[in-house]
Amino acid sequence: MSSPDLSVLIGGVRFKNPVLAASGCFGYGSEMEPLIPASLFGGVVTKTILESRRPGNGAPRIIETPSGLINSIGLEGVGIDRYLDEMVPKLTGVDTRLVVSVGGHDIEEFARLAARLDRVDRVDALELNISCPNVDGGTDFSTDPDLAAATVRAVRRVTGKPIWAKLTPNVSRISVIGQACEKAGADALSAVNTFTGMSIDIHTGRMILPRGAGGTSGPAIRPLALAKVWELVRNVGIPVVGIGGIATGHDVIEFLITGASAVQLGTVLYIDPNSPRTALAGLTEHLASRGMSTVRDLIGTLKGRQERRPHS
Amino acid sequence: MALSSRAIACRATVVEQIETQPGFFRLVCRVPAAFADPLPGQFVQLRLNDRSDPLLPRPYGIVDFRRQSDHAIFELYYGVVGAGTKILARYRPPDSIACIGPLGRGYTFDPGREAILVAGGRGVAPLLMLYAAERPKGRAIPFVYGFRTAALAFGLDRIEESDRRIATDDGSMGVHGNALQVLAGLPERLLSSATLYACGPEILLEKTARFALERGIPCQVSLEAPFACGVGICRGCAVPAAAHDGYLMCCSDGPVFSADEIRWDAMP
């Protein structure tokens, strides 16, 4: 049997496979060559781009926790001009979709950036980072359904490229935000950004990160993220891209069965450069062993818990 | 900063693991021939198990590197200080460990000036490699080495007796004091014509850097900062830059920095 078709369609754009690199974990797409070639992924999501260069937060910026990582990088980045001049050309001819993560201090900045990126052919989709926990006001855009919708609407007006809204999990009902984004014209939802987390130094009694709390990622959040994805897929009609501690073939399959149309690998890219290859191999093997000719046969096939049969 | 294209991901097979002093280990590993020649000051990232706790790989400075017929050998020196090193200490031949390297920017030896090495504690590791690379060329290289107590000396047999400038906290070997006091006591004529190469606790590095900056002599320090990836991608290991309001990345811009690249007043 020929190997299964791994391609998925999100917002009218075809991705050759459903495993993407998550924003903030793969730079601007080419820096990890040759350890992790961008062409392994169906797509790469860039570090969040803002209009200006940002130096980011002071040290320390990361703390390791059990099976997790708390970061407070603070949207360090080169700014849109240098991004377009230097980073985009490096992905010319590389066989992967380019999803640009767009940030903003206000709705107008999101829209101005989207308007510029709309004119760049290499850019396949925009992921709106309305949920960065490490800058003032960063998560506000995705904890308030009206503000989230207004951001998506403002970007929708200036671009024909697919819009993905990246949601924070730090809300009681993520589907309320997801529905607001869908109604405002989002083509897909990326779920989830990091969970607010904190760790302190008990010997000094001081907080470790300069801002106190940061964003938690890694295997520790995977079940939490999966539950958020499950809530979304039951309540919205647009594709959901699953993110949160996904590291292995098992994890990819878990999110796809639950209903995610694709997934993003994040923290694991810091740890295991082979993870994209092994995750894709695990997915391919799973499909083949079940006689599925396309990954689309797997997506959203979640079944309810089997009822125990009464003893006969 | 782009990843050094010389780094590879491979398995490092344990050849030898010896507890040189209580809690301190010398680890020798075999890696494929494709592993590039590391510069003194460069490091490897070791992933200590294939589970998720501890989650992150850990960086270890390379002490020695040799090529053999169809493979290469590197040597590390570490003390058991946390969860990662506790696991590392349990490895035995022929266990293998997921490894990425060589990584980072190492020392840049300046053959036009005298050299003085300044080591504190386990920081001696990369300087032993620098010493081994440069000392055979003939010129004396004063090796200032401060540590807690005589029983914790590591690698003294690799340093010419005439080059040793030892200090211990308890006075059990060499001068009773620290490496900085020994450095400051060197002849001014030597100091003014030398480049300092330092590695050790941050307080020693900062004081050595300020000592050099005040005298206007070149100084290279190997810094440590917590990071996840080791290749400049996670942006975790921010070190305040002197040249602008931003940061350098310890893992990829360093770990070896020129003292004048760092905004010491802004160090955490």
Max intra-chain CA distance, chain B: 54
Question: Which pLDDT score is estimated for B164?
Answer: 96
The answer to whether B163 and B132 have CB atoms below 8 angstroms apart is: no
Question: Which pLDDT score is estimated for A140?
Answer: 75
How far apart CA A18 and CA A296 sit, in angstroms, is: 10
DSSP string, A212-279: BEEEEESGGGHHHHHHHHHHHHTT-SS-EEEESS--SHHHHHHHHHHT-SEEEE-THHHH-TTHHHHH
Query: Cβ of A270 and B228 within 8 Å?
Result: yes
Interface of A with B (CB under 8 A): 25-27, 30-35, 53, 55-64, 66-69, 71, 73, 76, 218-220, 247, 267, 269-274
Query: Cβ of A61 and B235 within 8 Å?
Result: yes
* Residue A164 lies inside a defined structural domain of this protein: yes
The answer to whether B55 and A68 have CB atoms below 8 angstroms apart is: yes
Contacts of B268 in chain A (CB under 8 A): 58-60
Q: In this structure, how many other beta carbons lie within 10 angstroms of the beta carbon of residue A249? A: 19
Name the stretches of chain B with pLDDT < 50: 1-2
The verdict on whether omega for the bond into residue B14 sits within 30 degrees of 0, i.e. cis, is: no
The answer to whether A253 and A216 have CB atoms below 8 angstroms apart is: no
Phi, psi of B144 (to 5 degrees): -80, 125
Q: In this structure, how many other beta carbons lie within 10 angstroms of the beta carbon of residue B15? A: 15
Helix pair A145-156, A174-184: axis angle to 10 deg = 30
Among the partner-chain residues B5, B238, B244, the one whose CB lies closest to the CB of A58 is: B238
Contacts of A59 in chain B (CB under 8 A): 225, 237-240, 247, 268
* Residue A232 lies inside a defined structural domain of this protein: yes
Looking at chain A, which residue has its C-alpha nearest residue B84? A64
3-state SS class at B85: helix
The distance of A60 to chain B (nearest Cα, Å) reads: 7
Phi, psi of B84 (to 5 degrees): -65, -50
Whichever domain contains A122, its CATH number is 3.20.20.70
Neighbour-count burial for A44-65, b at 16+ CB within 10 Å, e otherwise = bbbbbbbeebbbbbbbbbbbbb
pLDDT of chain A along its 312 residues, tens only?
A: 578 999 999 999 999 999 999 999 999 999 999 899 999 999 999 999 999 998 999 889 999 999 999 999 988 999 999 999 999 999 999 999 999 999 999 999 999 999 999 999 999 999 999 987 666 666 678 899 999 999 999 999 999 999 999 999 999 999 999 999 999 999 999 999 999 999 999 999 999 998 899 999 999 999 999 999 999 999 999 999 999 999 999 999 999 999 999 999 999 999 999 999 999 999 999 999 999 999 999 999 999 987 777 665
DSSP string, B120-136: EGGGHHHHHHHHHHHGG
Query: Cβ of B247 and A274 within 8 Å?
Result: no
How far apart CA B71 and CA B63 sit, in angstroms, is: 17
Contacts of B55 in chain A (CB under 8 A): 64, 67-69, 218-219, 267, 271
Looking at chain A, which residue has its C-alpha nearest residue B252? A31
Q: Is the alpha carbon torsion for A72, A74, A75, A79 positive or negative?
A: negative
Max intra-chain CA distance, chain A: 72
Contacts of A220 in chain B (CB under 8 A): 52
* Residue A209 lies inside a defined structural domain of this protein: no
The answer to whether A178 and A188 have CB atoms below 8 angstroms apart is: no
- Between strands A125-129 and A195-198, the pairing is unpaired
Contacts of A208 in chain B (CB under 8 A): none
* Residue A178 lies inside a defined structural domain of this protein: yes
Looking at chain A, which residue has its C-alpha nearest residue B234? A25
* Residue A203 lies inside a defined structural domain of this protein: no
Question: Which pLDDT score is estimated for A281?
Answer: 98
The distance of A128 to chain B (nearest Cα, Å) reads: 20
Which domain, by its residues, includes A239? 8-51+78-196+217-297
Those residues whose C-beta lies under 8 Å from the C-beta of residue A159, and which sit 6 or more positions away, are: A114, A115, A117, A118, A126
Could you tell me where the beta strands, DSSP code E, fall in chain A? 8-10, 13-15, 19-21, 43-45, 62-65, 68-71, 97-102, 125-129, 163-167, 188-191, 195-198, 200-201, 206-207, 213-217, 240-243, 262-265
Contacts of B100 in chain A (CB under 8 A): 35, 273
Question: Which pLDDT score is estimated for A2?
Answer: 75
* Residue A66 lies inside a defined structural domain of this protein: no
CA A153-A154-A159 angle, to 5 degrees, is 95
Contacts of B245 in chain A (CB under 8 A): 55
Query: Cβ of A64 and B56 within 8 Å?
Result: yes
Question: Which pLDDT score is estimated for B1?
Answer: 42
Ramachandran region, residue A70 (left: φ > 0; alpha: ψ -120 to 50; beta: rest): beta
* Residue A109 lies inside a defined structural domain of this protein: yes
Q: In this structure, how many other beta carbons lie within 10 angstroms of the beta carbon of residue B259? A: 22
Contacts of A48 in chain B (CB under 8 A): none
The distance of B248 to chain A (nearest Cα, Å) reads: 10
How far apart CA B65 and CA B36 sit, in angstroms, is: 10
Query: Cβ of B247 and A55 within 8 Å?
Result: yes
Q: Which of A26, A270, A274 to mutate to test the interface with B (most CBs of B within 10 A)?
A: A270
Structural domains in chain A (count): 1
Among the partner-chain residues A31, A219, A274, the one whose CB lies closest to the CB of B233 is: A31
The answer to whether B14 and B94 have CB atoms below 8 angstroms apart is: yes
Those residues whose C-beta lies under 8 Å from the C-beta of residue A150, and which sit 6 or more positions away, are: A107, A184
The distance of A37 to chain B (nearest Cα, Å) reads: 12
Contacts of B229 in chain A (CB under 8 A): 269-270
How far apart CA B72 and CA B99 sit, in angstroms, is: 13
Work out how many CB contacts closer than 8 A connect A with B.
112
Question: Which pLDDT score is estimated for B197?
Answer: 98
* Residue A112 lies inside a defined structural domain of this protein: yes
Query: Cβ of A31 and B9 within 8 Å?
Result: no
Average pLDDT, rounded, for chain A = 94
How far apart CA A59 and CA A214 sit, in angstroms, is: 12
How far apart CA B156 and CA B144 sit, in angstroms, is: 11
Looking at chain B, which residue has its C-alpha nearest residue A266? B234
Phi, psi of B253 (to 5 degrees): -80, -25
Query: Cβ of B268 and A60 within 8 Å?
Result: yes
The distance of A34 to chain B (nearest Cα, Å) reads: 7
Looking at chain A, which residue has its C-alpha nearest residue B51? A67
The question of whether A132 is a catalytic residue gets the answer yes
Query: Which of A10, A78, A132, A220 is an active site residue?
Result: A132
Question: Which pLDDT score is estimated for A134?
Answer: 65
Query: Cβ of A271 and B57 within 8 Å?
Result: yes
Q: In this structure, how many other beta carbons lie within 10 angstroms of the beta carbon of residue B173? A: 18
Q: What is the ipTM metric for this complex?
A: 0.91
Looking at chain A, which residue has its C-alpha nearest residue B8? A35
